[in-house]
Amino acid sequence: MGRPTTRLAMLAAVSLALAGCGGSDDDAATTPATAESAGETSAPPPGGATQTGTQGTGATVPEVELDEPYPATQDLARTLPQGGETLTSPDGHELTLTGVHRLADDRVVVTAVLSLVELPREDFAVNGFEEPALRRAGSRGSEWAPFELTVAGDETTYLPVRDDDERCLCSVIRSGIQEFGDAMTVMTVMSAPADADAVDLGVHGFGDVSDVEITAVPATSTTPWGTVETLTVRSAHRQDGTVTARLTLASPDDSTGWGRGVYGFTDDQLCLGGITVVGTGRTTGLAEGCVRGVLPAAGQAVDLEATMPDPGTDTLVLLPSNGVPTALQITGDAARGNGEQLVSHDARSRTEGATVAAGERVEIALDTSVLFDLGESTLTSAARRTVAVTVETLEGQAGRSLTVAGHTDSQGDAADNVELSSDRAQAVADALEQQLGDGWTFDVQGYGEEEPVAAETGTLEEVEAAQARNRRVEVTVEP
């Protein structure tokens, strides 16, 4: 299918991540390479325009109007990152791991090149992938978060970072727009221990990759985007708690098809989805308002500008949803922004049935299939290790006030579920109190099926997976 000259649905997908040390409480010790330190030069001017400044100076490109396509005379050849081992799913999808890059003390970004075989549209989100490789992400498609990360000598399994609404910081794959067979760069931001220099990755639906070195974020101003376009950062500037990025999206002369992949979960198909800035800790600044525009036709480019609240850390990292993460220079003074568009993506890990989300407050979700027999509220012998892991995590926190909340799935009588969830929460609280000793306070609640974390809809497998997630006991350390 050919590409029309203009298209109102701007389906670009980019994340901008700040990484560095100094500037806020979210800062980490790790500082990715910058364009200056790596000897990077700025990108050439777009088309035949005169560019008065270069990337990293805060200058713009005054001869080119925003959101207006223009001939792109610069070299638009896409260069995909060099990969390592290629894994193949049972349905023939191919995944080539291209890197694991340190973003902050508690997280890395995993990048890969993905080639999909054609599947029936109605089966796209699940066929060939095992949960949680693809979760439904509203109207925008399914999130790409297939990884589990482990480190030799560490019993913990590290999971994708997520916000309070369970959204990952990752690529999104969409049926109906993805052109099968083309190679597309994808990424997932993963939790990882600060002292790790190499990791093992389990990739749901594909297999395992061992001993992958963690490296610094590469420094460049241009990255492949989707399966066709090229994305270039012209400038990045911060002022008064706001980050402003000027971007060029370009298509090669021989390109066909549509734009691929989005980051972000907005329902508005006309928006430039997913421009974000991420601090070296947990804070993410989402794009403010709706940046609209057109995807460029073959041999053309378009310049876009997006603003985001500043997380307040030092180094800007371009983190395209379907591109290559890039450490860049940024001008101006760091100042933490504010507002609803400033959110947190918390590091998450799982050990012996206990999944820990480490954010402004620590939340531990305990798997009831490990803690209890079906329909029962007496702790099993297998629960001892889960309780011990929970105690170890709690003792490392400053807070001593705990909320213990029980939850069930929607099966059975609602009143009985409330009682069961309350009894299970009390059993966990009693076990924790016995091991933690004096100085702790407990607030025990049972919510039954009232607060699910997953919709119990879809295929039988999807319903069962959702029910398993909803059956849980949550322990929260109040600050």
What pLDDT sits at residue 99? 93
User: Is residue 401 a contact partner of residue 410, using CB atoms and an 8 Å limit?
Assistant: no
Mean pLDDT of 409-428: 95
Query: Do residues 303 and 10 make contact, with C-beta atoms less than 8 angstroms apart?
Result: no
φ and ψ of 352, to 5 deg: 50, 50
* Torsion angle of C-alpha atoms 357, 358, 360, 361, degrees rounded to 10: 60
Banded pLDDT at 327 (limits 50, 70, 90): confident
The Cα 47–Cα 13 span in angstroms is: 22
- pLDDT category at 218 given cuts 50, 70, 90 is confident
Angle at 319 between CA 118 and CA 346, to 5 degrees: 100
- Region 349-355: what's the mean pLDDT? 89
pLDDT at residue 193 is higher than 90: yes
The residue written with tokens 């370009």 in the block is: 250
**Residue 14 phi/psi, 5° resolution?**
-140, 140
Residue type, 113: V
pLDDT band at 360 (very low <50, low <70, confident <90, very high): confident
- Name the β-bridge partners of 99: 111
The pLDDT of residue 170: 85
CA distance 169 to 162: 7
What pLDDT, on the 0 to 100 scale, is given for residue 77?
Answer: 66
Q: How far apart are CA 452 and CA 332, in angstroms?
A: 43
d(CA 109, CA 149): 11
Query: Which one has a higher pLDDT value, 261 or 306?
Result: 306
pLDDT band for 60, please (50, 70, 90 cuts): very low
CB-CB contact of 126 with 136 (8 Å):
no
Average pLDDT in the chain: 75
Tell me the per-residue pLDDT of 69-81, one tens digit each, with 9 for 90 and over: 888 866 556 778 8
pLDDT at 7: 30
Residue of 385 and 359 predicted with greater confidence: 385
pLDDT of residue 230: 83
First to last CA, the chain: 55
Confidence band, pLDDT 50/70/90 cuts, at residue 190: very high
Of residues 344 and 39, more confidence is placed in 344
Among 310, 316, 390, 299, which Cα is nearest to 76's?
Answer: 299
Query: What integer is the mean pLDDT of 287-304?
Result: 70
Q: What is the pLDDT of residue 422?
A: 96
Q: Which residue has the higher pLDDT, 180 or 316?
A: 316
Range with lowest mean pLDDT among 33-42, 138-147, 219-228: 33-42
Domains and CATH numbers, the chain: 1-344 (no CATH), 352-478 (3.30.1330.60)
- In this prediction, residue 267 carries a pLDDT of 43
Beta bridge partners of 235: 246
pLDDT at 128: 35
* Residue 122 confidence class, pLDDT cut points 50, 70, 90: very low
Largest CA distance in the chain: 73
Predicted local confidence at residue 36, as pLDDT: 35
Cβ count near 157 (within 10 Å):
17
Q: Report pLDDT for 297.
A: 78
Overall average pLDDT of the 322-345 stretch: 83
How confident is the model at residue 264, as a pLDDT? 34
pLDDT confidence band for 107 (50 / 70 / 90) = very high
The residue ranking higher by pLDDT, 16 or 418, is 418
Q: What is the pLDDT, as a whole number, of residue 476?
A: 93
- As given in the structure block, the two tokens for residue 160 are 């994708």
Given a contact cutoff of 8 angstroms between Cβ atoms, the answer to whether 157 and 147 are in contact is: no
The pLDDT assigned to 63 comes to: 66
